[in-house]
Amino acid sequence: MKAIKSLGRRLSLAKSSPSSSPSTSPTSPKKSNGLSASPSTTTSTTIAVSEAPLIPKPLQEVPVIHEIDPSKILSVTDAETTAPATSPETPAISSTTPAVEPAAKPVPAAAAPAIATATSTAITVPLNQGWTFARQAVENEPALPFPADEWIDASVFPTNVHSELLKLGKIPDPFIGLNEYDVQWIGETAWAFKTSFEVESKVLDEPNVDLVFEGLDTYASVYLNGDLILEATNMFLEYRVPVKSHLKTDTNELLIQFPSTFHKGLELEEQNGKKQVWNGNSSRLHVRKAQYHYGWDWGPNIMTVGPWKPIFLHAYTAHIADAHIKTVLSEALDSATLNISLDVSGAELASEGLGAVVTVLKPDGTVAVTQTASLSTTETSGVLKSKLDIELAKDDIQLWYPIGYGAQPVYTVNVEVKQKSESTSEEASSSTLPLAHKAQRIGLRTVRVVQDPLEGQEGLSFLFEVNGVRIFAGGSNWYAIPADSFLTELPAERYVDWLKLMVQGNQNMIRIWGGGIYEPDVFYDTCDELGIMVWQDFMFACGQYPAYDAFVESVKSEAEQAVKRLRHHPSLVIWAGNNEDYMMAEILKLPIDWSLTSLSESELKASALPARHIYETVLPEVVNRIGNGDVYYHRSSPYSIPGKSSMDLKHGDLHNWNVWHGEQLDYQKWEYMSARFVSEFGMQAFPDRRTVDHWLGGNTAERSPQSRTSVSHNKSTGHEKRLAQYLIDNFPYSMDMDGYIYATQLLQSEAVSSAYRVWRRNWKGRGKEYNAGVLVWQLNDCWPVTSWALVDYFLRPKPAFFTIARELRPLTVGIARYEKKGPVPKSSAEASQFFVAVWATNATLEANTVSLELAAFDLYDPTFQWSQKKDITLPPNSSTDLMMMPLPGQPPLSKKSQVPRGIVVHAKLLDKDGDVISRNTNWPEPFKFINFPPPSAISLKVTSTSPPGATQITLSAARPVKGIILDAEGDADVKWSDQAIDLVPGDDQIVLAWGLGKREVKVRYLGDGVVE
């Protein structure tokens, strides 16, 4: 193969100045009547999209959304019991080594932990200080590189062992080089965490004191003052343990012992049987832990361990155990009722002495309505219940829509439990803290999954309808994994940054994949604010999961907590039982008769896929019983309908992996692989060069695509062959690292953007939604790696992010090229004719009249000119085929020795003001056959100006240019508004750059080298 050497065009640009993001202050609510609400504020503040929108106007109107202050986002748990995570700024409190373990030196008195800010008379005491950790000796274990029983101060809390040892310099960074393999021992031994604390008398004066563990990873024995109070077995569960009788007014000692989750899984597998998996050790099937921790085809094997979520004491008279708020909208969407069910626990409660006050705050923070209710019980458990219906005034109804289809107003519902006697004086009661308080944010919307017969095609639709509007879902899978291998290293702001990227990329749906975690509240709150629909898997992925009783009971509790926590989010639009378990069973040809659709529990458990009992019985029952009744339950992803293959193209959703995996077909054949809803597909690419250099850790000798280090930072089986195959089939490329990065990124950008383009073409309007959604695998990475991600671990977008953003604009134009072959009469030769199809998509809800401009160029003949212009009206919420015509300038061919002309077809949509709102350029393929004009003939020009906040770069050329990717000298990041740009004569394009300063710009494009 001939090598291509990059010329690396450079331009010195002037320094730019940063811009700032506006925000507004929250509005205080009005005071209510009766059992009045305590003074409160709303968190509905204004959220600005990043100061660096990735798609410049007028090509994309950046939506006005609200600024999220992650520290103020309301938790689904009681507001008064939400324990803030510790931060470096949190004052340290005196703590000691608990006496549960022998102390080598005298133990000083522990200080009482700070009590959280009160929103009720209940007391929350975060236990986030004074923690130490140690490895515990395990019988018959091999020599390990870290001593046992050496207690070390934890730097933060919550935390995990890997992060702590890394900060201490005790282990190498597992994200660099081959270090991942040198830290495996951490997950294969036992650890313990402990702290000591004092409890103020007023805490013990409360009738009830619970110790709450929001998340323990994974198996844990918890001791309080030497008493075993909890055996934890599920990473996804929150545990609430009554501990008043175990607490002392002086020093209390809390010890958590974590045995090896990996070894525990092996024991369970030996007891209950070994089953098949894709990715990771098969013992993971028995363990309720984030499955990707066992390693996947994009992530490392890092078995984290430790208290990964907050731990706190909750002392109370009354505790709102559940506030189920169900929104009911009329068919006309002009009336709204909140059906609210309350469960209040507390052993000392008197049923006749308590009442509830419910206040609904409008999105602007003002009070919409306040209503009171009595609490009563006939039970002996001490749980009080109440049900009330709150009707909103017609003028107060603001509907929530996905981004691009309307606004995202979010209401806050405050629930307070008070003594009834407090209602006798409004002034007194409004200043008196309630016994308990809970706040939830809700949105008013209807949602359903429409599976209706289609016009002109077999099968059923599979689409999402919100408030009666049918939505084309264009989005991504959430790495389809969590955004970090170390979950405790993820601040709330990083979640917000990830999701803002989706908005900037014109995406409206995120799928949370079943091998990760149920994400924290900030994730779903941000999706509510930004209008991003959430497809939520339950946490099962790629395996024959068991269904023995203990496992099912743990899963049931996990599902109940997850559904209860997430059900109020307007962004949540679907629950799916698992990821690919049914598909895997089919591919492995497990002995399952799928035509039998009504099986008993015992029959399901006895099948080759025992967890069918979980997916077809347990999970739907939980969703129906605990959910709001409006979110569809889907047995699996992918899944069609009962009795049909999960890989059926005419029903349900599809994971389309016949490109890259499976048959490894050409990505140019996406058009013939469409389905009703494609919830996975993808193509790999190397990340940004800075990310590659990070994983190399300065080892320049390994800076090669084929080095041991680079290969280790791609976990997909056969990835070298597959990348090489798709590159060889399509592009000229070089094997130096920078050239290979460019080639793979261009490959990915072409492959995935073309899928969005041709599949969205099948959104033909009501009754003809032949394809209703496309979710690429994947948005993000959990470590520095070569993968299918659009954005790498350090939030550096790959070019594919930008090409997809262009395909998901509200108005787009598409071109496809077809070759019609046929025999030549009385000859063995084969004739070819070339055609181009042009279509446009209008995703708005109104008809749009635009101008379509078409132009054709010959790469080898600059004198060739062809153009056409016409005004067209595009119907709303659909794609429209505009024309099919012979390829301009290309005569029919009658023999293979006749080489097609290098015709490039360019299409633009312009609005009434003449501004370009969409472009698409169609090239002869494969690109490897194109003899690109030399750079001197292309005459690429790069000029710049420096308006406030960004450097403006103008690109122009005398010949068509393919795949322009911009970079800057040095290691500092630059935010670009566009990448992977196709440029044609007469259509200059503008790119904005933030953070460029005076650095030189490097420009790469396909064919920018010289043959050596």
Residues marked active site are found at: 580
Is residue 585 classed as helix, strand or coil in its secondary structure?
helix
Question: Which tokens hold the place of 406?
Answer: 């309307």
List alpha helices for 467-548, DSSP H.
492-504, 521-530
Question: Which tokens hold the place of 396?
Answer: 């107060």
CA distances from 844 to 157, 470, 527, 765 (A): 47, 11, 21, 12
Q: With contact defined as beta carbons under 8 Å apart, do 908 and 916 qualify?
A: yes
Work out the burial of residue 318: count CB atoms within 10 Å of its CB; fewer than 13 is exposed, 13-18 middle, 19 or more buried: buried
Q: Provide the residue type at 822 as one letter.
A: G
Which residue in 627, 592, 629, 595 sits closest to 607, CA to CA?
592
How far is 120 from 432, CA to CA, in rounded Å?
Answer: 9
CB atoms within 10 A of CB 178: 16
How far is 311 from 126, CA to CA, in rounded Å?
Answer: 6
Q: With contact defined as beta carbons under 8 Å apart, do 73 and 85 qualify?
A: no
Which residue in 580, 472, 548, 573 sits closest to 807, CA to CA?
472
Computed from CA positions of residues 931, 936, 940, 942, in that sequence, does the dihedral angle turn out positive or negative? positive
Beta strand 436-442 pairing with 411-419: antiparallel
Q: Provide the residue type at 873 as one letter.
A: T
Contacts of 402 (CB under 8 A, 6+ apart): 466, 471, 508, 509, 531, 532, 533
CB atoms within 10 A of CB 362: 23
CA distances from 125 to 225, 275, 520, 794 (A): 17, 44, 21, 35
How far is 932 from 939, CA to CA, in rounded Å?
Answer: 13
Please tell me what DSSP assigns to residue 617: I
Q: What are phi and psi of 654, to 5 degrees?
A: -135, 140
111-142 residues labelled b (16+ CB within 10 A) or e (exposed): bbbeebeebbbbbbbbbbbbbbbbbbeeeeee
3-state secondary structure 444-475: ECCEEEECCECCCCCCECCEEEECCEEECEEE
How far is 250 from 112, CA to CA, in rounded Å?
Answer: 9
CA angle 970–971–977, rounded 5-degree value:
90
Q: What are phi and psi of 697, to 5 degrees?
A: 60, 35
CB atoms within 10 A of CB 63: 16
How far is 257 from 192, CA to CA, in rounded Å?
Answer: 4
656-694 residues labelled b (16+ CB within 10 A) or e (exposed): bbbbbbeeeebbbebeebbbbbbbbbbbbbbbbbbbbbb
Q: Provide the residue type at 693 as one letter.
A: D
Q: What are phi and psi of 806, to 5 degrees?
A: -70, -35
Q: Provide the residue type at 679 as one letter.
A: S
Which residue in 474, 463, 464, 336 sits closest to 404, CA to CA?
474
How far is 472 from 501, CA to CA, in rounded Å?
Answer: 19
